[in-house]
Amino acid sequence: MSREGQIVIDLRNRLPGRGAYVCLERRCLEKAVRKQILEKAFRRTCQPIDLAVLLSQVRANLSGHMASLIGMARKSAQLVAGGNAVLDALAQPGQLDVVILAKDAPSALVAKTMRKASSGMAVCEGLFAKTDLGQIMGRSEYNIIGLFNGQLADAFKADLIKYRKISGEN
């Protein structure tokens, strides 16, 4: 909480001072706001909390971190980008751990990718636009990106699970 009593999201546990933990699920945040659990945890009055704004801040925080993970994967050559390159990598089992499809990717590419993706693979669809993916990659746009197995892919999957829980997706 800020000095003004405003709730501040700190998903990485790096901000100084006292914090309050709330599980990253939509129902937990709804309950915390409805029952004023955060005020009880901080032992002081908070500024009014709008649940929609709080959820939006958490989603923005998570998607920003996932974008930075994609950037790190690009710099460390832990990803493959572009339709043909990702589909070729999907043809080799166990190479990719995460596939990220732009929300405005062509439906034919989405269908092909879904057919080739293995059952244990995380498929992230609809989180980024192709211009967003392009900006992360230093190009104009990308429809699809694949992350190789490794720590960056694991971190991305963990954030994706949190994002889906906050968004109400399972």
- Evaluate whether 81 touches 137 at the Cβ level (below 8 Å): yes
Q: Which stretch of 6-15, 51-60, 75-84 has the lowest confidence by average pLDDT?
A: 6-15
DSSP structural state of residue 130: H
User: pLDDT digit string (tens) for 63-115?
Assistant: 999 999 999 999 999 999 998 999 999 988 888 999 999 999 999 999 999 88
pLDDT over 60 (residue 170): no
Q: State pTM to two decimals.
A: 0.83
- CA-derived radius of gyration, the chain: 18
pLDDT at 4 (0 to 100)? 66
Q: Are 165 and 55 contacting, i.e. CB atoms less than 8 angstroms apart?
A: no
Which class for 45: exposed (0-12), middle (13-18), buried (19 or more C-beta within 10 A)? exposed
**DSSP string spanning 90-106?**
HTSTTSEEEEEE-TTS-
Sequence-ordered alpha helix ranges (H) in 44-144: 51-75, 83-90, 107-116, 130-137
What CATH class is the domain 59-167?
alpha beta
Q: Domain coordinates of the chain in residue numbers? A: 1-49, 59-167
CA distance readout (Å), 31 to 13, 25, 26, 132: 21, 10, 9, 33
